[in-house]
């Protein structure tokens, strides 16, 4: 009975704010639960408990250890900096600035998630976040007819994604410039729906697909 309970605990998805943040960070670093637990000097079953039980209350020492193993801050694991814009930390003493190759840019862009779409409107230039995917080398996203992102159709736009590591004062950014067009072919729209990584966070009916066909992709990275 005990073995069955432990197995179920190991297989259960993350639950609660702390658990989801711990699991998301270790997955981002490519670490399994067992590898993370070993580096933190704790039992995998205890780490599973932290991830899967919303009421789990680890000690300050356990949180500090996990934060160090996961290369982040305690505040990031507990959600204390959820409303804080990225990048408030100090710059490194000797940062290394490098330009990314087209291949590196494509690899980073393909991790998908949320990017920033820059376009011109009658009221002036705007930048809006959109959930996106990369299909056949193009950036694609789904929106609603008449919504701001849909106004990109038929225009030249910019699309940017980045990641910031406040703990180590490093990060990267990729900038795509291209022509945006609305997907009008039903077959193509269905194919994009099948290949999309996720649905828009904004919810609601968003059945208009927009494709950005790049004519320039550049990127840069700051490391220490």
Give the integer Cα–Cα distance in Å for 168 and 174. 19
Q: Residue 139 above 60 pLDDT?
A: yes
Q: Which two tokens stand for residue 45?
A: 């079953």
Does 1 have pLDDT greater than 50? no
* Domains and their CATH numbers in the chain: 2-78 (1.10.260.40), 96-223 (2.30.110.10)
Confidence of residue 6 (pLDDT cuts 50, 70, 90): very low
Q: How far is CA 14 from CA 8, 22, 48, 196, in A?
A: 12, 9, 8, 23
What mean pLDDT is predicted for residues 17-42?
A: 89
The stretches of the chain forming alpha helices (DSSP H) are 2-11, 17-28, 33-40, 44-52, 60-69, 74-78, 102-109, 186-195
Q: How confident is the model at residue 205 (pLDDT cuts 50, 70, 90)?
A: confident
- What's the mean pLDDT when you consider all of the chain? 82
Q: Give 207 or 180, the one with higher predicted confidence.
A: 180
Tell me, what's the pLDDT at 58? 84
Question: What pTM, to 2 d.p., does this model score?
Answer: 0.63
Higher local confidence (pLDDT), 35 or 204: 35
The two tokens of residue 122 are: 């009658």
Using a pLDDT cut of 90, give the percent of the chain over it. 35
Confidence of residue 9 (pLDDT cuts 50, 70, 90): very low
Q: Which of 20, 9, 77 is nearest to 43 (CA)?
A: 9
What is the mean predicted confidence (pLDDT) over 170-199? 87
On whether the CB atoms of residues 149 and 132 are closer than 8 A, the answer is no
> What residues have CB less than 8 Å from 23, skipping those under 6 apart?
14, 33, 51
pLDDT at 118 over 90: yes
Residue 215 confidence (pLDDT) above 90 = yes
């Amino acid at each position: 009975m005990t073995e069955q309970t432990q197995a179920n605990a190991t297989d259960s998805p993350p639950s609660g704010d702390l658990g989801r943040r711990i699991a998301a960070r270790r997955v981002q670093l490519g670490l399994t639960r067992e590898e993370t637990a070993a580096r933190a000097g704790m039992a995998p079953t205890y780490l599973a408990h932290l991830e899967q039980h919303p009421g789990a209350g680890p000690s300050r020492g356990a949180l500090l250890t996990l934060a160090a193993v996961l290369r982040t801050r305690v505040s990031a694991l507990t959600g204390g900096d959820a409303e804080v814009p990225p990048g408030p930390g100090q710059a490194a003493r000797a940062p290394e600035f490098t330009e990314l190759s087209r291949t590196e840019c494509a690899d980073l862009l393909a991790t998908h998630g949320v990017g920033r779409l820059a376009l011109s409107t009658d009221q002036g230039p705007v930048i809006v976040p959109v959930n996106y995917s990369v299909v056949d080398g193009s950036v694609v996203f789904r929106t609603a007819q008449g919504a701001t992102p849909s106004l990109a159709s038929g225009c030249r736009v910019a699309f940017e994604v980045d990641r910031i590591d406040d703990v180590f004062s490093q990060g990267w950014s990729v900038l795509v410039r291209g022509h945006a067009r609305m997907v009008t072919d039903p077959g193509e729209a269905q194919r994009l729906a099948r290949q999309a990584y996720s649905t828009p966070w904004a919810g609601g009916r968003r059945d208009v697909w927009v494709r950005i066909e790049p004519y320039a992709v550049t990127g840069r990275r700051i490391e220490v």
